[in-house]
Structure 1
Amino acid sequence: MSRICTICARGGSKGVKNKNIRLLLGKPLIAHTINQAKISGLFDCIAVSSDSAEILAVAKKYGADLLIDRPKEMSTDFAAKLPAIQHCVRVAEENRNERYDVIVDMDATSPLRLVDDILKSVQLLEETSDATNLITGMPSRRSPYFNLVEVDSNGIVSLSKSLEKSVSRRQDAPKCYDMNASIYVWKRGALMNSEKLFQSNTILYEMPEERSIDIDSELDFEFVSFIATKRGELL
């Protein structure tokens, strides 16, 4: 089984300036994800894709196997991430003359995952024969069946999703999850031949809230810094 880890990190960041290389526990943020991928021992290649020469230089310093210049059209604020991952895999396969069976993409902005989360996510997908891909998520604090609402054009509020029989406790509602942007795992065909994340056989690996913060704001960075400092090492 041949596996590649992709880490796609743009240079531009609106919520947290230069967040992918901002220091966390004395190391650039992206370095923690590279280190986790290396320690897992799963990957034949760790490839970092970026439009930023500075990010690529940091990735090289901390042990990435392959540095890939992301095309400008895949680096805008409105560009979807899936084409960037597909591009990264194609370039890596051409560069290293190798075909990868399993692709694992990890966001540098979700560094609180454990190496064990990576190992178990990959194991779960590989041992689920009919699954095409896997996402990670945490149990949602809000439920679209109980306390997540929408407001229509007339200002009328209603639950986001309805059930035939309403529930009076959130615990009685169908279980829901927040995606945590931590780990995505694909079988090659499912990634390279699709434009959608959610497929007919997408499965989920559950992670706890304390390992599920994705940095989109300064407040997120403060939360991650607090938890990381308490842990002492992100492994």
Structure 2
Amino acid sequence: MNIAIIPARGGSKRIPRKNIKLFHGKPMIAYSIDAALKSGCFDKVIVSTDDAEIAEVAKQFGAQVPFIRPDNIADDHATTMDVMHHAIQWCVQQGWNIEAVCCLYATAPFVTPELLTEGYQKLQQDKDIEFTFSAATFSFPIQRAIKLSQQGEVSMFDATKEQVRSQDLDEAYHDAGQFYWGRKDAFLQRKAIFATHSRVVLLPRIRVQDIDTAEDWEFAEALFTLLQQQA
């Protein structure tokens, strides 16, 4: 059995009610639920939430909400791994024979069924692979990053790379913040995701946008419109 678990707590502060705020006419969480259902990868698509309204919206769009998340993992200090560990343990206690699990963020309107399928296929390629997740390249060489002192003085994080040609620098990648496929035991053992036992599903940068501020939200909506026009 494969399951998708969508963490969606109700206490978002920077963008209030972010998980169910309308994004291009649909609650944000609906995009993740829809992609999971259409992928055909999952026997169950579950939303882990502490919030009754989010639970109702999730059910309306086809997800299951078989439990309410406990208060001790519903605050600002709870990690995604805490939420996944609790949800998987609950499923195991029901007697479900789980093989693979996908943590799918509720704020991932650019995720597609095809990307989820690719992530699952990569997980299945080798028994030593514990996780697969979405990633993208940085748009600028991270080796040339600079920092500012409190007085506004400029310095490089790595001054040894100042004169190295861009094409000679290693490509750098970052987590795209959409999904994390993993083996059940890898999640239960809280293994590191960003490690040699993981592989990535590489996304074009146009399909990646963190949504943590009002400015992020506006940019994501504009990007979504552009992608629709290109489809």
Query: Structure 2-normalised TM-score?
Result: 0.89
Greater shift in the superposed pair: 167-176 or 153-162: 153-162
- 1:7/1:48 contact within 8 Å kept: yes
Contact 2:19 2:27 in 1 (8 A): yes
Please give the alpha-carbon distance, in whole angstroms, between the structure 2 residues aligned to 1:160 and 1:119: 38
C-alpha distance in 2 between matches for 1:31 and 1:109 = 9
Q: Which residue number in structure 2 is paired with residue 30 of structure 1?
A: 29
Distance 1:203 1:158 in 2: 34
Distance change (3 Å), C-alpha of 1:67 and 1:157: farther
* Partner SS, residue 229 of structure 1: helix
- Tell me which residue corresponds to 2:216: 220
- 1:132 and 1:199 in contact (8 A); partners too: no
Counterpart CA distance in 1 for 2:9 and 2:77 is 12
Whether the 8 Å CA contact 2:20–2:54 is kept in 1: the answer is: yes
Aligned counterpart, 1:130 = 128
Shift of 1:153: 9.3
Task: Give the Cα–Cα distance (whole angstroms) in 2 for the partners of residues 153 and 202 of structure 1.
Answer: 38
Equivalent residues in 2 for 1:20-169 (5 A)? 20-95=19-94, 97-146=95-144, 148-150=145-147, 158-161=155-158, 168-169=164-165
- Cα distance, 1:161 vs structure 2: 4.9
CA distance in 2, matches of 1:68, 1:8: 12
Counterpart pick for 1:182 among 167, 175, 178: 178
Separation in structure 2 between the aligned mates of residue 179 and residue 54 of structure 1, nearest angstrom: 29
Q: State the distance in 2 between where 1:232 and 1:140 align.
A: 24
The gaps in structure 1 that reach 5 residues or longer are: none
Instruction: State how far apart, in whole Å, the 1-side matches of 2:135 and 2:159 are.
Output: 22
CA distance in 2, matches of 1:60, 1:136: 26
* Contact persistence 1:66–1:92 (CA under 8 A): no
Change over 3 Å in CA distance of 1:127–1:21 after alignment to 2: same
Shift of 1:88: 1.1
1:166 CA displacement: 6.4
Amino acid at match of 1:131: I
Aligned pair count reads 230
CA contact (8 A) 2:55 2:65 kept: no
How big is each residue's C-alpha offset from its partner over 1:103-161, in whole Å with a ceiling of 9 and x where there is no partner? 11111112112211111111111113321112211101233322x13468998765435
Distance 1:92 1:211, change over 3 A: same
1:76 Cα deviation from its structure 2 partner: 1.2
Partner letter of residue 225 of structure 1?
Answer: E
Do the aligned partners of residues 162 and 40 (structure 1) sit closer, same or farther apart at CA in structure 2, a change above 3 Å counting? farther
CA distance in 1, matches of 2:182, 2:163: 36
In the aligned structure 2, how far is the partner of 1:75 from the partner of 1:192? Answer: 19
Identity %: 28
2:193 — aligned with what?
Answer: 197
Change (3 A) 1:195 1:68: farther
> Aligned in 2, Cα 1:151/1:47: closer, same or farther, shift over 3 Å?
same
Matching residue's letter, 1:20: N
Aligned to 1:136, the other structure's residue is in SS state strand
- State the 4+ residue runs in structure 1 displaced beyond 6 angstroms: 152-156
Range 114-123 or range 60-69, more displaced: 60-69
Kept after mapping to 2: 8 A contact 1:135/1:204: yes
What is the CA–CA distance in structure 2 between the aligned matches of 1:158 and 1:128, rounded to whole Å? 43
